[in-house]
Amino acid sequence: MDINVIRENIDKIDQQILKLLADRMQQAVDVRKFKEKTEDKGREQQVLKKVAAIASSHSLLDPAFVEKLYKAIIEESKRIQDTSYAK
């Protein structure tokens, strides 16, 4: 395996990550229809706890990094929910 093959693999993985992220955002928009308000602190804490636990089982994933990443994903999800729900 050479550097170009590895970079192509990384590019493919990035495409998969972005597709999954877009799918997750759509699910967030869909779930907003069933909620009284966008923010749900209990659910947010549940998600953060779950992903930190999953990250702990992967040697290359730092749970603190994953928590920071998911906090950003959750904030963007709420922004998109508010934008979509307002329409």
Question: How many independent structural domains does the chain possess?
Answer: 1
Burial of 74 (0-12, 13-18, 19+ CB in 10 A): middle
> Could you read off the pLDDT of 61-78 as tens digits, one per residue?
999 999 999 999 999 999
Q: Report H helices in the chain.
A: 3-32, 41-56, 63-85
Please give the residue range of the domain that contains residue 37.
3-85
> Could you read off the pLDDT of 14-71 as tens digits, one per residue?
999 999 999 999 999 999 999 989 999 999 999 999 999 999 999 999 999 999 999 9
Which pTM does this prediction carry? 0.90
Instruction: Supply the pLDDT for residue 1.
Output: 84
CATH number at 26 reads 1.20.59.10
Q: What is the DSSP letter of 20?
A: H
Task: Find how far residue 10's CA is from the centre of its chain.
Answer: 18
CA-derived radius of gyration, the chain: 16
Contact 67, 15 (CB under 8 A): no
Instruction: Supply the pLDDT for residue 87.
Output: 58
